Every structure is written in structure tokens, then in C-alpha cells.
């Protein structure tokens, strides 16, 4: 039995984690959950799954950290974003916990410092992200020399639109991702291609791959999640249906300390390639490529933390209809100059 604490339990990823664990009650037990916005949903979740230890935004931050520090907690699932996710991430790694983390921001800001700390404490880290889980699988036990990593990108809702159209998009249209069902913040980050920029840095930090060896490739269908190209001319790819439960299912089992438990992954819907259209091409939208370029520039200039904080604020303002979509790029560009 593996005891689990989940932060951000009421969000898009957290809800899926709770749902999957609810199907494996002989293997996992949720001993604590934290939620930041939906207290009612949190209480309903606690009642349904008989979770005694709950945290919501009215509680103190120290109580949340205490939940993570609980010696009975084997696995910490970090499904929330924001600065608090970085604190939880650092604390969990320092204590040598097993960590499944959806917060790209925490991984990026924690950087190599946290990865080095994990080596000292024995903490295990696996990202809750389809592309990063794909790379985890593809690079596992790999002894071949890597030539290039390709992170696939659907292109979002405005892939085929010009700058004039994109300048006038509304929050409603920006939230309509063509292939994934996600929370509001990450949906806007994806529409801006900022999310893909974060993933480049995330792959760099998690797997130690030089930035110049990581490329983005547009794949509108979102069936192929990552591709690894080797020096010997061969390539391997990970494919699945576009459902975050696939990545979560893999991550939970991979972090198990019990080999039998690890092998008992839930059976998930498989992908049939019969009559499937698969397209791949270089990022060719000159407006949206700005999102990736700005993230990389901020990282190289040592301004990535300021970039993340400002981006979060600008996305909130866009969702509240205070600014336009392309105003986000404008403000971020001023920061990284």
C-alpha cells in the first residue's frame, strides 16, 4: 500500500489523479488532499474517498507543508501551480519523497539545484505531463547517443490563423483547445505556445538534454507525444490517445516501491492507427512562435521566474477581459529585453 498526498486535488490534473487512485484502493491510499479554489468539491472528494486530512485556502501554509512532511506519506502528487508548488516540490525532494509533479513552473524554477538535491536524498521525480512522460519511457535504459529530441505540439486553437485574427480572439475561443481538455491557465498558455517553451526547458532540466538538441514539431492530432532521434539514424516515438490519464497511470506506477504494484497498471484505452491521419511540420505560425522564443530568451537571460509570475498575471487579466491576447506577448517582450 502506498500512501499519497495530492495538492491541487480539485484541478484538472488533480481530479484525474484522485479518480485513478479511486480505482486502485488496494494499492494506494490518499491520506491528504489540498485544494486552492473549490472548497465544496474538496469536501465532497474527502467524504467520498474517506480522506481525513484536507487543506484549503483558508488554512495556513504551514498546515499544507506539514501534510507534505508527514512521514506516512510515500508519494506527493503536486497538481497545483503557482509559487506554493515550488515550496512543496523543494520540501518533498529534500525529504526524499517520491514526487509526481504537474507544475512545469516549479520544475523550471527549481532547476538543476533540485535535481541535484534529489540525487543526494534519493527522491524520485516524474513529471505529470504527456510529453515528459513520453520522454521518460523513451529514454529509460537507453544506451544510444541522442541526436535530437522532438516535442510535439498540436498548435492550439489558432494554428492556422494570421496575426490580425489572433489579435482579436476572446478568452472563450482561446480556451477551446482542439485536442486536450485542460484547466484555464494552461489552456491559454498552450494557445500562446508559452507552454511549449516551458516544456523545452523542462526536458532540459529533467533529462539533462542540451537546449540546442530539443526541437518543437507541430502535430495537430496529438497522438505522438515525443520523438527521440539517435545518432545511428534511428528514431523512437511514444503514441497514445490524447488523455492525461495515460500519463498519470504510468507515473503513479513508475514511482511505486513495490514491483508487483508497479506492474498492475490500469488498462487504458489504446490507440489504433488504422485510418488515422498523422501530420508533422515545423512551427510555421510567425505570430505564435513568439511564445516559445520569449520563454527561451527569459530562461537564457536569467529572468524566467519574473517571466512566469508576469505571464500568470497577464493570463488572469486576459481571462478577465482587461487586456487583449497579443498584449501578453507585448508585456513579456518588455521584460526579457
Domain coordinates in residue numbering, the chain: 2-128, 134-236+277-336
3-state SS record for 78-95? ECCCCHHHHHHHHHHHHC
CA 67 to chain centre: 22
Q: What is the mean pLDDT of residues 101-124?
A: 95
Contacts with 278 (C-beta within 8 Å, 6 or more apart), sequence order? 219, 221, 223, 224
Are the beta carbons of 190 and 177 closer than 8 angstroms? Answer: yes
79: number of Cβ within 10 Å:
28
Contacts with 92 (C-beta within 8 Å, 6 or more apart), sequence order? 68, 76, 78, 99, 123
Compute the mean pLDDT over every residue in the chain, rounded to the nearest whole number. 93
164: number of Cβ within 10 Å:
8
Give the whole-angstrom CA distance, residue 240 versus residue 217. 17
Single pTM value for the model: 0.94
**Of 220, 38, 196, which Cα lies nearest the Cα of 104?**
196
Determine what percent of the chain is predicted with pLDDT higher than 90.
Answer: 84
The DSSP letter of residue 140 is T
Tell which wins on pLDDT, 235 or 27: 235
Q: What is the pLDDT of residues 105-114, one digit of tens each?
A: 999 999 999 9
Q: What is the pLDDT of residues 258-275, one digit of tens each?
A: 555 555 677 888 999 999
Are the beta carbons of 159 and 220 closer than 8 angstroms? Answer: yes
One CATH from 3.40.50.970, 3.40.50.300, 3.40.50.720, 2.60.120.10 for 2-128: 3.40.50.720
**Of 197, 212, 190, 214, which Cα lies nearest the Cα of 139?**
214
Q: What is the pLDDT of residues 39-75, one digit of tens each?
A: 899 999 999 999 989 999 888 899 999 999 999 999 9
Q: Tell me, what's the pLDDT at 258?
A: 57
Which grid cell is 282? Answer: 515545423
Amino acid at each position: 500500500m502506498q500512501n499519497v498526498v495530492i495538492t491541487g486535488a480539485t484541478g484538472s490534473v488533480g481530479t484525474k489523479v484522485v479518480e485513478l487512485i479511486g480505482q486502485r484502493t488496494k494499492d494506494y491510499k490518499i491520506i491528504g488532499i489540498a485544494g486552492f479554489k473549490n472548497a465544496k468539491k474538496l469536501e465532497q472528494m474527502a467524504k467520498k474517498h474517506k480522506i481525513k486530512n484536507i487543506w484549503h485556502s483558508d488554512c495556513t501554509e504551514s498546515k499544507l507543508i506539514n501534510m507534505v512532511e508527514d512521514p506516512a506519506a510515500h508519494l506527493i502528487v503536486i497538481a497545483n501551480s503557482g509559487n506554493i508548488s515550488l515550496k512543496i516540490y523543494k520540501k518533498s525532494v529534500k525529504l526524499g519523497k517520491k514526487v509526481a509533479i504537474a507544475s512545469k513552473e516549479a520544475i523550471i524554477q527549481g532547476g538543476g539545484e533540485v535535481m541535484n538535491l534529489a540525487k543526494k536524498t534519493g527522491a524520485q521525480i516524474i513529471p505529470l505531463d504527456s510529453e515528459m512522460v513520453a520522454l521518460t519511457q523513451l529514454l529509460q535504459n537507453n544506451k544510444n547517443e541522442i541526436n535530437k529530441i522532438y516535442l510535439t505540439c498540436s498548435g492550439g486553437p489558432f494554428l492556422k490563423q494570421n496575426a490580425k485574427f489572433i489579435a482579436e480572439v476572446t478568452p472563450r475561443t482561446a480556451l477551446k483547445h482542439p485536442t486536450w481538455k485542460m484547466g484555464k491557465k494552461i489552456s491559454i498558455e498552450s494557445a500562446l505556445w508559452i507552454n511549449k517553451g516551458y516544456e523545452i526547458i523542462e526536458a532540459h532540466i529533467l533529462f539533462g538534454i542540451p537546449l540546442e538538441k530539443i526541437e518543437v514539431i507541430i502535430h495537430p492530432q496529438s497522438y505522438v507525444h515525443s520523438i527521440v532521434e539517435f545518432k545511428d539514424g534511428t528514431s523512437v516515438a511514444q503514441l497514445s490517445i490524447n488523455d492525461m490519464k495515460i500519463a498519470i497511470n504510468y507515473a503513479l506506477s513508475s514511482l511505486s516501491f513495490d514491483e508487483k504494484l508497479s506492474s498492475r497498471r490500469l488498462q487504458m484505452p489504446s490507440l489504433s492507427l488504422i485510418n488515422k491521419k498523422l501530420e508533422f511540420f515545423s512551427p510555421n505560425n510567425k505570430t505564435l512562435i513568439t511564445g516559445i522564443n520569449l520563454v527561451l530568451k527569459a530562461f537564457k537571460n536569467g529572468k524566467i521566474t519574473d517571466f512566469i509570475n508576469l505571464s500568470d498575471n497577464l493570463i488572469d487579466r486576459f481571462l478577465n477581459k482587461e487586456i487583449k491576447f497579443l498584449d501578453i506577448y507585448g508585456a513579456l517582450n518588455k521584460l526579457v529585453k
